[in-house]
Amino acid sequence: MKLPRILKSLLLVCVLLAGANTVRSDELAITITLHENGEGNLQGVDANASFAGFLSVDPGPGGLSAALTFDLLSPPGLVAGDLLLLGDTLAISDVIRFNTAGVEGFAVFYSEITSGSGELADTGFPTLNYINMLTIYEAPSGTTTYTPTAGQPGFVEGARGLVSYVISSSEARTIGVPESGSTILLLGLAICLLISPCALEPLHASGLSRCQRGVTGVIAAG
């Protein structure tokens, strides 16, 4: 699904206004849930928005032609790489790949093909991996939380709070409202608040903050 032009403009403004503020705040932490059936969810900064994955060509090393892909809405400074999850037999059960292309960022969910499997991610694995690769153990419950640090796959260098990923297999389902224009907009605004220090600055004499004045200008120009 293509994002509306005005939302892409809004996100671009947020990235440009991220500035040099490098202080990270737990209050601005954000959690992105990715389910192997194609459901996605973002929580944080007083927001709860659902979004859907889609099958697409994986441009990463050894990527498949139809892999479950989630659009992460251009997180600033997303670190590319592969996250490998080991199951109880110490074999790879899932691969979460983070791809970057220009200012855009995507997560690709790969899962092993097993008897009776039918989730969108059950395609097998890429034939090659990124050099930047990290291996962790999958939680027995099927829901694994991963919070990358600097340089690790999925780390967002421009975020002002911690970004965590909840990786869910068929044993657990995400909870949220169906994707719509309003939830996509809410998702974009949540990321805007996460990365933009102007969200906390005092109001201008006009009654608008610098961020709000910038967004107003984008809307007027659109």
pLDDT per residue as tens digits for the range 30-45: 999 999 999 999 998 7
Residue 27: inside a domain, yes or no?
Answer: yes
Q: Is 135 helix (H, G, I), strand (E, B) or coil?
A: strand
Sheet holding 143-146, edge to edge: 47-52, 39-44, 30-35, 163-168, 143-146
Is the pLDDT at 191 greater than 60? The verdict is no
Residue 217 CB contacts under 8 Å (≥ 6 apart), including other chains: none
Residue 83: inside a domain, yes or no?
Answer: yes
Task: Output DSSP code: residue 156.
Answer: B
Q: From residue 74, how far is each of 84, 87, 136, 217 by CA, in Å?
A: 23, 30, 25, 21
Q: What is the pLDDT of residue 44?
A: 82
Per the model's pLDDT, the better-predicted residue between 104 and 206 turns out to be 104
Per the model's pLDDT, the better-predicted residue between 17 and 188 turns out to be 188
Per the model's pLDDT, the better-predicted residue between 9 and 77 turns out to be 77
Residue 6: inside a domain, yes or no?
Answer: no
Residue 8: inside a domain, yes or no?
Answer: no
Q: What is the pLDDT of residue 92?
A: 96
Residue 85: inside a domain, yes or no?
Answer: yes
Q: What is the pLDDT of residue 91?
A: 94
Q: Is 45 left (phi over 0), alpha (psi -120 to 50) or beta?
A: left
Q: What is the pLDDT of residue 75?
A: 87
Domain that holds residue 156: 23-181
Write out pLDDT tens, residues 152-175: 999 999 888 899 999 998 754 444
Residue 216: inside a domain, yes or no?
Answer: no
- As a dihedral over the C-alpha atoms of residue 195, residue 41, residue 4, residue 13, rounded to 10 degrees, the angle is 0
Residue 210: inside a domain, yes or no?
Answer: no
Q: What is the pLDDT of residue 17?
A: 37
Residue 115: inside a domain, yes or no?
Answer: yes
What's the total number of domains in the chain?
A: 1
Residue 120 CB contacts under 8 Å (≥ 6 apart), including other chains: 36, 37, 38, 53, 55, 68, 109
Q: What is the pLDDT of residue 86?
A: 96
Q: What is the pLDDT of residue 34?
A: 98
